[in-house]
Amino acid sequence: MTDSTSPAPTTEGGAAQHPEAPWWTSATVYQIWPRSFADGDGDGVGDLAGIRSKLGHLHDLGVDVLWLSPIYRSPQADAGYDISDYDDIDPLFGTLDEFDELLAEVHALGMKLVMDLVVNHTSDQHPWFAESRSSVDSPKRDWYVWRPRAADGSLPTEWRSFFSGPAWQLDPATDEHYLHMFAVGQPDLNWRNAEMRAAVHAMMNRWLDRGVDGFRMDVINFIAKTPASLEPGAAGFEMDPSVHDHLQEMHREVFAHRPDRQLITVGEMPGATVDDAVLFTDQQRHELDMVFQFEHVDLDHGPDSKFDVRPLRLSALKRSLARWQEGLADRGWNSLYLGNHDQPRLVSRFGDDGPYRVESATALAAVLHLHRGTPYVYQGDEIGMTNAGFTSIEQYRDVESLNWHEEALAAGASEADVLESLRSRSRDNARTPVQWSAGAAAGFTTGTPWIGVTANSAEVNVEADRASGERSVFEFTRRLIALRHELPVVQLGAFALLAPDDERLWAFTRTLGDERLLVLANCSGEPLDLDPALDPVLRRRSVPDLVIGNTPHGIGSLTLGPWEVRVLRG
Ligand code: ISL
């Protein structure tokens, strides 16, 4: 389907798509994390009314798909990733009627809307779990993962929760343990149970009948655990191959009924390898359209904890992404992201959120959007929002950060060290309110925001960015999204990494038939001299054709300015 050697597509009227390529090969997705996007009712929490008020911003940006992080009913133990009713909207965010209005407006603007599907676990407040925990004989007992209490007091396995502490919780009602890979309030569903799976399929079908355009599937590779990894003493999760059966069954029960709809599925998969991803995203296998892999966001921490911060080598980052480009070149498809609601802000992590904030935000955007795959823009990244800069634990809200702070202090770490790690790695870095204006609460709410606004909102905000002409990150991102719509070589061109060992230059080519793009990004705050031996385009006498760049001068020179990106044709 995405074979780069297939006949070159035709360009008509500025937009082009390979006749056999799926629609999402030319699409860009925008992620909304509703709590912090925009608040319509002044209670300090983002909501559907807020999203509706900002659809013009998203339409102007030109994104094709909006993905909403969970808005379902939830006790909010993990900011909505703990769902107590899959069929209703949490009152914090609005009502089903408002959702229908939002969906209609999104469609009227020519965009699609994708929901988050969180079915590795539910909330412990979900009626399914209430029934399951009520008795060992409950008809829903087997919908979750229960293990008897051992006489010697040992836990069923050694698994640790992602949010600190053991992954097992003793439930007093029946004196048995339930598994929770995440918070205590997020019990894992048992995907070996066919009735439970059918209930999930039915729920998905109801949302598709309502008109939504697909799902982003939360930790979907975690749904199948090997029997061995659930034996006493087992150290941690291992993916069971039955995950492929579950996804194929889901396809049959849900997606195959709708051949006429343009849907999209993306599976979030911590730990998935390139080989796994080929299987998950090969269109012939009918599993998923693409996966979120984690290899490139796991390069800058130690093996045991994301809070064990290590320096990142550019060569490691670009080689990692290049391996995925190569691995999914013939079968399958990549999703492209450098940030989301679980990761630090990309400009603070991979760029320079000081003097070169705009240059590094745009350079990194160009590099990301010009890889082969479907790019994901996380809210606020289109204006180069930075990390939160919190300095006290009272400012944090995320369960992962709060639990880890407590656990690390109990293990003897100093408050200063823990705060330093949180400053760089807490998920709250990406969860501060979107900065719409220089006004109070950054224009996010008329009330008191549920989490502090990042201190730079007077300078970094949508109004200021969009008024800043050639320095607008928004405008640059808009042009990148448009390029993907217009240029088949951006959609489908073969990828080749240049200068893989260079620790400052990120360079690659994309080639499709006679079309060829050379992407050159200086990922440093110092000028960088280009070696003409790098690429024939640099050896030509004539000034090359600039497709897009983030500095107004120097196209023909062999020096890139600090964080300069240049995309040349030829
Ligand atoms: O952020 C992480 C830990 O630092 C990741 O391991 C994260 O937990 C993992 O990416 C799974 O994330 C998804 O499922 C979680 C939820 O908290 C995240 O927000 C969601 O994206 C549990 O539902």
Along the 570 residues of the chain, how does pLDDT read in single tens digits?
Answer: 233 333 344 443 345 666 689 999 999 999 999 999 999 999 999 999 999 999 999 999 999 999 999 999 999 999 999 999 999 999 999 999 999 999 999 999 999 999 999 999 999 999 999 999 999 999 999 999 999 999 999 999 999 999 999 999 999 999 999 999 999 999 999 999 999 999 999 999 999 999 999 999 999 999 999 999 999 999 999 999 999 999 999 999 999 999 999 999 999 999 999 999 999 999 999 999 999 999 999 999 999 899 999 999 999 999 999 999 999 999 999 999 999 999 999 999 999 999 999 999 999 999 999 999 999 999 999 999 999 999 999 999 999 999 999 999 999 999 999 999 999 999 999 999 999 999 999 999 999 999 999 999 999 999 999 999 999 999 999 999 999 999 999 999 999 999 999 999 999 999 999 999 999 999 999 999 999 999 999 999 888 899 999 997 677 789 999 999 999 998
> In whole angstroms, what is the distance from residue 432 CA to residue 306 CA?
20
Look at residue 555 in the predicted model and tell me its pLDDT.
75
- End-to-end Cα, the chain, rounded Å: 26
Residue 218 designated active-site: yes
Contact 504, 522 (CB under 8 A): yes
Look at residue 386 in the predicted model and tell me its pLDDT.
99
Look at residue 13 in the predicted model and tell me its pLDDT.
39
Residue 158 designated active-site: no
Dihedral sign of CA atoms 374, 379, 382, 388 in order:
negative
* Pocket lining: 270 vs ligand 1, CB cutoff 6 Å: yes
Look at residue 14 in the predicted model and tell me its pLDDT.
47
* Pocket lining: 400 vs ligand 1, CB cutoff 6 Å: yes
What angle do helix axes 357-369 and 473-486 make, rounded to 10 degrees? 10
Q: Quick one: how far is CA 211 from the chain centroid? A: 23
Look at residue 350 in the predicted model and tell me its pLDDT.
98
**CA dihedral in degrees (543, 501, 355, 450; nearest 10)?**
120
What is the Å distance from ligand 1's center to 342 Cα?
6
* Pocket lining: 78 vs ligand 1, CB cutoff 6 Å: yes
To test the pocket of ligand 1, the residue of 33, 71, 81, 160 to mutate (highest count of ligand atoms within 8 Å of its CB) is 81
From the list 64, 268, 287, 398, the catalytic residue is 268
**Which atom number of ligand 1 is nearest to the Cα of residue 181?**
22
Q: What is the DSSP letter of 9?
A: P
DSSP codes joined into one string, 90-149: -TTT--HHHHHHHHHHHHHTT-EEEEEE--SB--TTSHHHHHHHH-TT-TTGGGB-EEEP
Look at residue 3 in the predicted model and tell me its pLDDT.
34
Token couple for 352: 């320079």
Q: Quick one: how far is CA 130 from the chain centroid? A: 31
Q: Pick the residue whose CA is nearest to atom 5 on ligand 1.
A: 342
Q: Pick the residue whose CA is nearest to atom 3 on ligand 1.
A: 162
**pTM (two decimals):** 0.96
Look at residue 19 in the predicted model and tell me its pLDDT.
66
* Pocket lining: 306 vs ligand 1, CB cutoff 6 Å: yes
SS3 content of the chain, % helix, strand, coil (to 5): 35, 15, 45
**Which atom number of ligand 1 is nearest to the Cα of residue 118?**
23
Look at residue 18 in the predicted model and tell me its pLDDT.
67
Look at residue 552 in the predicted model and tell me its pLDDT.
76
* Pocket lining: 425 vs ligand 1, CB cutoff 6 Å: no
Look at residue 16 in the predicted model and tell me its pLDDT.
61
Look at residue 304 in the predicted model and tell me its pLDDT.
86
> In whole angstroms, what is the distance from residue 522 CA to residue 504 CA?
6
**Which atom number of ligand 1 is nearest to the Cα of residue 78?**
17
**Which atom number of ligand 1 is nearest to the Cα of residue 294?**
10
Q: Pick the residue whose CA is nearest to atom 15 on ligand 1.
A: 81
> In whole angstroms, what is the distance from residue 158 CA to residue 230 CA?
9
Question: What residue type is assigned to position 492 of the chain?
Answer: L
From the list 64, 218, 300, 465, the catalytic residue is 218
Tell me the residue length of the chain. Answer: 570
CB atoms within 10 A of CB 283: 14
* Residue 416, H or E segment: helix 415-425
Per residue in 134-148, pLDDT tens?
Answer: 999 999 999 999 999
* Pocket lining: 219 vs ligand 1, CB cutoff 6 Å: yes
Look at residue 40 in the predicted model and tell me its pLDDT.
98
Question: What residue type is assigned to position 541 of the chain?
Answer: R
> In whole angstroms, what is the distance from residue 415 CA to residue 418 CA?
5
